[in-house]
Amino acid sequence: MSPRAILVLNAGSSTIKVAVFEDGREVARAGADAVPDHGAALGTVMAALAGQGYGLNRFAAAAHRVVHGGPDLSETARITSDLRAQIVACIPLAPLHNPHHLEVIDRIALAAPDLPQFASFDTAFHASIPEVAVRYALPDVVETQGLRRYGFHGISYAALVEALPQQTGQPLPRRLLAFHLGNGASICAIKDGRSVATTMGYSPNAGLTMGTRSGDMDPAAVLELARRMGVDAAESLLTHASGLLGLSGESFDMRALEASDTPGAHWAIRHFCYWAARHAGSMIAAMGGVDAIAFTGGIGENARDIRNDILLKLAWAGDVPVHIVPAQEEAFIAREASNLMEGPDFAA
């Protein structure tokens, strides 16, 4: 029997998660957290899959989540030497992620040279955002090239656009306010099925209060922090020690904060909900109104009180349907790879 399974790999800044799909269904999963060496961790994860009966010879393809595709990589594509070079060129835009994606891609290629590999990009769904919404108010000089809003969580939003009509049995709402709330959090304004605005920008640090990321800050405050601490220490603080963790002094995990009675936990939750609702107002303005709201991600799906607080703050927008859509990023990546393999341009 020829292999049919698709291996989906998600190499984060300090994690590796893999899932196996056959005929559109997830059949196996493995992962590793707090990874100091992605190469070694991949070996451990793949050994765990092999123990479930899924060695590399079982796969028809490997499909990867790649955080940053820059302005040009706007759809899922087969990984070639040219595409790999484009992912390399985006390393300055995602230094905590793209190098790990590349390491995993290269190790899979070394272990199984004939296995087709595909990449889906977290920035791709936002390629439809108009220029007025992506350009910063900077002069057009050499030093500012590439400094623009890109947006992230695009795979999650693309999967949501597919899943919501199947879930409701109704057409996709014309103006959909979509919340992806988890350790990373963002909002997307989806009009006629296309992204027209999103809260994340040049990096995933922009926008909402997140688990450990600061969200939006005055650039002068960021520059001052860099002067006081040095650039590397300031970057680490804003990325790894801010957000819910920094505000509460306890945890980045919303479940732990909701279970806590401390003033710090209450303050962090209040901040999270306030800024989610405030940024949502901006997204509604970008669409000229709102016809429905959808929540996805770990917090979006599971934290009812957080959802209700945000919705209460948005009561001014009117009574619109609210949907909870389970995150389906890995399944979406697998479908994208499968569709390309079945297309006329694919040659094994």
Q: What digits encode the pLDDT tens for the residues 88-123? A: 999 988 887 899 999 999 999 999 999 999 999 999
pLDDT, residue 348, reads: 62
Task: Please indicate whether the domains covering 5-121 and 169-329 agree at the CATH topology level.
Answer: yes
Instruction: Give the closest residue to 343 by CA, choosing from 20, 116, 132, 134.
Output: 116
In this structure, of 9-23, 74-88, 119-133, 271-285, the range with the lowest mean pLDDT score is 9-23
Percent of the chain with pLDDT over 70: 98
Instruction: Count CB-CB contacts under 10 A for residue 223.
Output: 12
- Tokens standing for 119? 């990449």
| pLDDT over 50 at 264, yes or no | yes
The strand pair at 185-191 and 117-121 is best described as unpaired
> Residues 329, 156: contact at Cβ < 8 Å?
yes
Q: Is 122 a catalytic residue?
A: yes
pTM score: 0.94
Q: Give pLDDT tens digits for 202-252.
A: 999 999 999 999 999 999 999 999 999 999 999 999 999 999 999 999 999
pLDDT, residue 1, reads: 40
In this structure, of 89-103, 156-170, 279-293, the range with the lowest mean pLDDT score is 89-103
**122, 192, 291, 345: which is the annotated catalytic residue?**
122
- Tokens standing for 285? 């303005």
Q: Which CATH number fits domain 169-329: 1.10.760.10, 3.40.50.300, 3.30.420.40, 3.10.310.30?
A: 3.30.420.40
Q: Which residues pair with 331 in a beta bridge?
A: none
The distance in angstroms from the start CA to the end CA of the chain is 16
Q: Which CATH number fits domain 5-121: 3.40.630.40, 3.40.50.2300, 1.10.10.10, 3.30.420.40?
A: 3.30.420.40
Domain ranges (residues) in the chain? 5-121, 169-329
Map tokens 């707090």 to a residue.
34
pLDDT tier at 32, thresholds 50, 70, 90: confident
> Residues 6, 20: contact at Cβ < 8 Å?
yes
Q: What is the mean pLDDT of residues 313-319?
A: 97
| pLDDT over 60 at 22, yes or no | yes
